[in-house]
Amino acid sequence: MSQLVVIGGGPGGYAAAFYAADLGMQVTLVDMELNPGGVCLYRGCIPSKALLHVAKVAGEAKHAANWGLTYAEPTIDLGKLRGFKDSVVTKLTSGLGQVSKMRKITYIQGKASFVDAKNLSIEPAGGGAAQSLAFEHAIIATGSSPTRIPGLTIESDRVMDSTGALNLPDIPKTLLVVGGGYIGLELGSVYAALGTQVTVVEMTDGLLPGADRDLVTFLARRLETTLHKILLKTRVTGMKDAKNGVTVAMEGEGLADADKSQTFDRVLVSIGRRPNSKVPGLDKTGVAVNDRGFISVDAAMRTSEPNIFAIGDVVGEPMLAHKASHEARVAVEAILGHKVAFEPQAIPAVVFTDPEVAWCGLTEADAKKQGRKVEIAKFPWAALGRALAIDRPEGMTKLIIDPETERILGVGMVGAGAGENIAEGVLAIEMAALASDLKLTIHPHPTMSETMMEAAEVFFGHATHVYRPKKK
Ligand code: FAD
């Protein structure tokens, strides 16, 4: 009998298992991989960021010509590059395996199915007889998987999802990225930096649907120079295996005839992710799944089966690692009888492209939708010493402020390294900070972090480095 079994070893599952063990529970963690890590460590956040780092270095080496430092075109040793990425993954996942052992967690490598609301059957990853496990409480943290284009995806090695693209099978001459969301743009940027001619096709009228348009504009402008083509309001209508590639049919507003049918060496389909809520045997429990396929939970992450909880991608958007880990702590504390709820004021999102786009809290578009009056303060990075010193003046910090209370409700940033600075915005929102708190907080000079302070000064009409008198 396990006091707690956690199904899925991603950033939701392992965070839950580790926290529960730290609080004295006897824990079993089940995942198909050799060590904990989940999608995030094995085929998501971490390998993509290792490759994006390489892309950044390649980009900066090119950019250095502007400052009189000219490097030759890089030669790329794909095996070594793959090895670097894989070594990062192995270091982190084996580290998690070790700290899991140190916490005396029973780690079972296998696939879990529910027998009923108190028992699991676990099929060992290496084959052999299934193992039964009775439990008092369970946390489902089974994550999500890439969505396929309904009726269009063909069985071809040349059509990849994010996992296939991260494997870096080769450096294709041409790549079509289907979907202009963050995963497509991050991986598309990696291939573009390695020398691939990348085309992005997006159904809606802009990249990163859902993100603030003021921020996306900066990214779109840069991607127009690093990518081959960005086709908006365009959809893929067919894919066919061709002799040396995949022939893709597209239709869209104003699409040139030449673009309507094109052959690409490879295609990356990144149109979203779907929750892994079809856990085998789940129908033998009282756990309910909503009409979008997410497991339904209350604010304490409890499903409709009182002893079963669920966290992470499998319970809803945003499908982000840090959201999963925070939900994990709530679920564990709820199991231990604490009065807790997952009620964040802000969950940050970062797109690790160049430039990075990051935001948290209320967006201007949300405010409009809600009919909520807000004041916007924007600080252009072109006026920031540090941004100019690294020759990356394109960027903006945008604060969404309640005009009555002067509380910070939302923060958006775009620019080099924006992702590293958004946490200050999250803290400001969580602590109910006022614009004056940001303004009066001494920020180190010269750093990108000063944009938060300067944007708050813009709100009062007296930013040091831009002239924006407050409208009377
Ligand atoms: P997952 O990490 O999906 O883990 C679920 C685990 O459960 C898997 O290991 C799976 O094998 C296992 N499992 C499923 N069913 C069973 C079963 N029946 N029995 C046993 N085990 C099972 N998020 C960020 O916050 N930042 C990023 O930069 C970022 N980049 C990403 C880049 C890419 C390319 C991708 C694909 C995703 C990225 N994400 C990023 C999203 C992030 O990976 C997910 O939000 C996060 O992994 C969700 O964590 P989770 O614990 O819910 O589940």
Alpha-carbon span 141 to 297, nearest angstrom:
12
- In eight-state DSSP terms, residue 446 is T
Distance 362 CA to ligand 1 centre (A): 25
Give the mean model confidence (pLDDT) for residues 179-207: 97
Residue bearing the CA closest to ligand 1, atom 41: 320
CB atoms within 10 A of CB 10: 31
pLDDT in tens, 23-54: 999 999 999 999 999 999 999 999 999 999 99
Q: Does domain 2-146+274-335 have CATH number 3.50.50.60?
A: yes
3-state secondary structure of 45: helix
Is 2-146+274-335's fold the same as 159-271's?
Answer: yes
Q: What is the CATH number of domain 349-460?
A: 3.30.390.30
Q: Do the Cβ atoms of 297 and 310 come closer than 8 Å?
A: yes
Mutational test site, ligand 1, from 142, 148, 332, 347, max ligand atoms within 8 Å of CB: 142
Q: Scanning the structure block, which residue is given the tokens 């690093």?
A: 226
For the stretch 79-107, pLDDT in tens is: 999 999 999 999 999 999 999 999 999 99
Instruction: Provide the token pair at 179.
Output: 């979907």
Best probe residue, ligand 1, of 14, 33, 39 (max atoms within 8 Å of C-beta)? 39
Give yes or no for a cis peptide into 444 (omega within 30° of 0): no
- Encode pLDDT of 126-169 as tens digits: 999 999 999 999 999 999 999 988 777 778 899 999 999 999 99
CATH of domain 159-271: 3.50.50.60
C-alpha R_g of the chain: 24
**Distance separating alpha carbons of residues 202 and 271, to the nearest angstrom:** 9
* Rounded distance between C-alpha atoms, residue 27 and residue 99, angstroms: 13
Question: What is the helix (H) or strand (E) element at residue 86, kind and residue range?
Answer: helix 78-102
Q: Residue 37 phi/psi, 5° resolution?
A: 155, -45
Q: How do the domains of the chain map onto residue ranges?
A: 2-146+274-335, 159-271, 349-460
CA of 238 to the centre of ligand 1 (A): 29
> How many Å apart are CA 268 and CA 17, to the nearest integer?
34
Say if residue 318 is preceded by a cis peptide, omega within 30 of 0. Answer: yes
Euclidean distance between CA atoms 384 and 465, whole angstroms? 7
Q: Which residues contact 129 (CB under 8 A, 6 or more apart)?
A: none
